[in-house]
Amino acid sequence: MGIIEKMRLDGKKGFVTGAARGIGKCTATAFAEAGADIAIVDMDLETAQVTAQEIAQATGRKVIALKCDVTDETQVQAMVDMVVEQLGGLDFCHANAGICINAAADEMTYAQWKKNIDVNLNSVFLTDTIAGRYMLSHGGGSIINTASMSAHIVNVPQPQCAYNASKAGVIQLTKSLAVEWAKRGVRVNSISPGYIGTDLTLSSETLKPLIAQWNAMAPMGRLGKPEELESICVYLAGDTSTFTTGADFGLDGAFTCF
């Protein structure tokens, strides 16, 4: 069997949170293209259903849509149970849901801080540990977390201390779980994207003035594309990455190199 065949995910089952659009939609599509059955998990069930239908028609895989507030332990447990029931198991997941609240630290409310930490960090803990318990008791699996280059640098000019702190926490959580579960068959890794040109980013009137500044600072002089994150996620979800755990993969066009 050649390396391309080994990279496939035939027979595997997984889910992606925040998958109705953007990065999550791209990685869910890639997982299905590689042969996996996938659950599209999002708060926006209507868009998730459209995304699931698109991916299923394009790939021929079983793709379902599930609504879940990833900050709610009961809902995350119910979502994982439904994935297992409807897809027939759980081999990997991509904890991708997140938000960014741009507010100066001296003006930010505590409620804004807590919301950012809850969605970006606490939800990853819930997703990882609930999915991880299933994997630990069923022979293993792979967990992929979306961190950010903002875990490594302080972005400018936008003020986003809560986002930066939450994503740094994701990386340390990733490493901690990877070490705890290293001998028990569950691998945990993270990806740290740079500025990515999702439809939401490109259409935002608030972000449009910042994009030119970001591109001027970027060694490649451009935003990344969501599809440029796909291959690393397929690698991490599959069986060619069985010695890869506790790693954070920078996908930022060298933005954090200086």
Catalytic residues: 148, 163, 167
CB neighbour list of residue 229: distance below 8 Å, 6 or more residues apart: 23, 26, 27, 191, 193, 196, 251
Chain centroid to Cα 156, Å, comes to 23
**C-alpha torsion 22→27→28→34, nearest 10:** 150
Q: How many other C-beta atoms can be found within 10 angstroms of the C-beta atom of residue 216?
A: 8
- Count Cα atoms within 13 angstroms, Cβ side, for 188: 28
Residue closest to 191 by CA, chosen among 63, 24, 44, 70: 24
